[in-house]
Every structure is written in structure tokens, then in C-alpha cells.
Amino acid sequence: MSIDLGLPELGGLADVPTASDSDAPQKAKDYKSDQEVRWCPGCGDYIVLNTMQSFLPTLGLKPENIVFVSGIGCSSRFPYYMNTYGMHSIHGRAPAIATGLATSRPDLSVWVITGDGDALSIGGNHLIHALRRNVNFKILLFNNRIYGLTKGQYSPTSQEGMRTKSTPMGSLDHPFNPISLALGAEASFVGRALDSDKKGLTEVLTAAAQHRGSAFVEIYQNCPIFNDGAFDVLKDKDEAARRIIPLRPDEPITFGPENEYGIVRSGFAGLETAKVSEVGIDNVVVHDPTVTDPAYAFALSRIGGQELEHTPTGIFRQINRTTYDDAARAQVAQAAEAKPADLQALLRGNDTWTV
């Protein structure tokens, strides 16, 4: 049974102060810190950083109300390069730290920057619990399918059989599908984008920022040193057209150079690809990320596979669900209204005697 706390349905930034008209218009450079960016040349993180710096001015927030919290790993250096508030924390724990921050500070736009090792290996527990609670912060998972900072061991998203420094005979681990995992934790917002797709990434980030609750965004990100070309098949124009399945709300899910393929229902709650000419456009699934049952989005996340034969991108799921932090603040407010904060009365209690 859910408790009615009288919570309004608001956007993710509803309590965050906006820049006033008198403030100078923001530009990407306003969000660049004075620190030299020290990722390897050609790292996908640069593109995500640039996209973020170009995108933030569009939110119209005050820079001081934006916080980036990261864990450990290459991507977790991200906060140092943003001219906002930021905390580079410890391995895997950023969602836990962000939970405390977002719960006590509704006036902040909080972003967690993490990687496949940080979020899915050492920090897996915090990730699923943040998503289940639906705390109002955004989690950007930079997935390069490798441990970069420690120089090239396999990660929880590396393909089976992958030869790395720690798996000379091939990795034995079955990898996580991060989107499936997030949906299994009942995340209220789940999206995916490619580092190289500035437009697509910006669209997902914009929707994530406006979403009230935990927003989980997987970003396929190339590591040019230890796993170069992991996503090349999605970046080659012809291959990308065949493999990437763009998810657009309220539109039939079609893909292919001529949109000749589509997604149709299959078996028990499943989805599969089919030729539109064979099934007819009326049988192609119209994308609806607001479906309450996560089974639909989960079925979408199972299309394709580790070899990236097909890769849906965009917003898999976006539903309204009470956020933990709103509910926690509402309880505090309710308690304060019901009973004044009389410290002396608390200390006295009900059973006293006088000497």
C-alpha cells in the first residue's frame, strides 16, 4: 500500500532555482572549469563532456545549483572539468552519496557520473537501490566495456571470451546488460545514447534532467587505449543504419536504411525484429515509454545482444513514480506540522520525577 503524501507531479527541476533574465546568457564555456582535461587523446569522454557543457545552458539553471558526484574510474574525473559544484568520491559509492545530497537538497540538480566497473561491479548494490527508491538524481553510466584507469582488465559489461590483461585465456563472466538491470530495479527513467551522437545524447540528457526521479542513461563510450572500436559497428554509417533502432515516443519502431525493419510482439511479452513488408506497418509496435509495466521496456532492452547486432537508443522508459526524496521531505514536513519541535519536552519525556 502506498501512502498518499499529497505529492505534486512535478518535473525533475521544479525546485531548482532558474537563472534570472538579468543574468548573462550562459554558454558552454561557462561550464568549463580551469582544469586541464586529462583523458587520453581520442577518449569518448571528451565528446560527452563537450555535449554536457553545451547542453547545460539550455536548462536555464544557475550553475551553483548543479552538482556532479562521481565514483572512481576514468569517467569519474568528469566533475573536475565542470565549473559547477562537484565531488569525486570513492569507488562505486556515488549513488549513495547523491542519495543523501538529493534528499536533503531539493534545490539542486544532481548528476552521478559513473562507469561500467564503478556502477555495475563495485557499486552494483547502490545503483539498484537508488533506482528502486527513485531518488531525484541522474545517473550517466559511461560504458566502455573495460577497466581503463587500472589499465585494461575486463569489466562486468565485457563480452564473454574477451581477452584482457586479467583474462589471457578469455573472460568467463557473462556480462550485464545495463538497461535490463536498471529496468529490473524498476528504474523510472531509462535511456541509452552513443558518445558520438551529440544530438541523440542531448535529447536523452534533456529528458533525463526534466524527469523527477532517478534517470538512468547508458552512454556507449569508446576507450581508444584498452578497448578501441568496441562500438565501431554503431558508428559506421551503413552498419549503424542496419543496427541502431531509434526509439521515438508515439512512433512505430522502425529501422534500417529504408526503415524496412520494425519491432513486433513475439511470444509471451517479448519483442523481435521483422521486415515491415512482411508483417505490415500496423503490426509494428508504437513506442510508448510511459507503459507502467517494465516488461515492455525490458523486452526492448533484450533486442540485439553483446555483438550489437541491434541496439535500441533513446528513451526506453519514462514513468511517474513517487520519488524517495520527495516522500522523505514530505514526512519531515508532516511531522513538523503535527508536532512542534519542542526539545525540552522531548528531553523530559512522559515519566519524570523530581528530587
Task: Note whether 182 binds another protein by CB under 8 A.
Answer: no
Task: Note whether 56 binds another protein by CB under 8 A.
Answer: no
Task: Note whether 344 binds another protein by CB under 8 A.
Answer: yes
Map the footprint of another protein across residues 72-111, applying CB under 8 A. Answer: 72, 79-80, 82-90, 93, 95-105, 107-108
Q: Which is nearer to another protein, 77 or 287 (CB)?
A: 77
CA pair distance 45, 51, nearest whole angstrom: 10
Q: Which is nearer to another protein, 233 or 328 (CB)?
A: 328
Record the cell numbers describing residue 19, joined without a space. Answer: 537563472
Map the footprint of another protein across residues 121-160, applying CB under 8 A. Answer: 125-126, 129
Residues in the chain: 355
Q: Find the shortest distance in angstroms from Cβ 58 to another protein.
A: 19
Q: Find the shortest distance in angstroms from Cβ 311 to another protein.
A: 31
Q: Which is nearer to another protein, 67 or 204 (CB)?
A: 67
Q: Which is nearer to another protein, 295 or 332 (CB)?
A: 332
Closest CA to 50 of 192, 196, 148: 196
- 131 to 42, 182, 301: CA distances (angstroms): 32, 7, 17
Long-range contacts of 262-269 (CB under 8 A, 24+ apart): 263/300, 263/303, 269/295, 269/296, 269/299
CA pair distance 225, 206, nearest whole angstrom: 30
The answer to whether 231 and 308 are in contact (CB under 8 A) is yes
Hey, how many other C-beta atoms are within 10 angstroms of the C-beta on 331? 12
Q: Which is nearer to another protein, 82 or 271 (CB)?
A: 82
Half-sphere exposure in the Cβ direction for 24 (13 Å, CA): 5
Q: Which is nearer to another protein, 105 or 310 (CB)?
A: 105
Identity at 249, one-letter amino acid code: P
- Residue of 63, 246, 256, 304 interacting with another protein (CB under 8 A): 63
Q: Which stretch, 156-164, 210-218, 275-283, 336-344, contacts another protein (CB under 8 A)? A: 336-344
How many residues touch another protein under the rule CB under 8 A: the total is 60
Place of cell 553510466: 141
Please tell me what DSSP assigns to residue 132.
Answer: H
Q: Which residues bind another protein (CB under 8 A)?
A: 33, 35, 62-65, 67, 69-70, 72, 79-80, 82-90, 93, 95-105, 107-108, 125-126, 129, 328-329, 331-332, 334-336, 338-341, 343-344, 346-349, 351-355
